[in-house]
Structures are given as C-alpha cells and as structure tokens.
Amino acid sequence: MAIKFHYVYILRSLKDRLFYIGYSDDLRQQVIDHNKGKKIPQPKIAGHWN
C-alpha cells in the first residue's frame, strides 16, 4: 500500500502581505489551481502565490 502525504502550508500574498493557511494532498496542483482562479475549499484571498 502506497503512503499518501497531506500538507499544511502557510503562504503570504505578494499583493497585500496577508497570510493564507491551507491544506492539500497535492500541494503543487493546489497552487496552480489558486493562481488560475479556480475555486478551492479554503478561504479566498486575492493574489497570486510564489
């Protein structure tokens, strides 16, 4: 059985300097989806993450 990892992350917006806390089992896809403006099941804060 393969081990599946889950991630908790803290990002800071370059636009307004606010912090964003989230979680995902696919961190790379989570950032891609956020930057494309796709709906994600966490609080929404405007801006792109690097």
* Residue 27 reports pLDDT greater than 80: yes
Q: What is the pLDDT of residue 25?
A: 92
Burial 13-33 (b: 16+ CB within 10 A, else e): eeeeeeebebebeeeeebbee
Q: Tell me which residue range forms the domain holding 29.
A: 1-50
- The answer, yes or no, to whether residue 41 has pLDDT greater than 70, is no
Is 31 within 8 Å of 23 (Cβ atoms)?
no
The answer to which of 1-10, 19-28, 34-43 has the lowest mean pLDDT is: 34-43
- Higher local confidence (pLDDT), 46 or 9: 9
Outline where DSSP puts E strands in the chain. 7-12, 19-24
Q: What is the mean pLDDT of residues 29-38?
A: 82
Domain count of the chain?
1
Decide if 14 contacts 50 (C-beta within 8 A): yes
Does residue 42 register a pLDDT over 60?
A: no
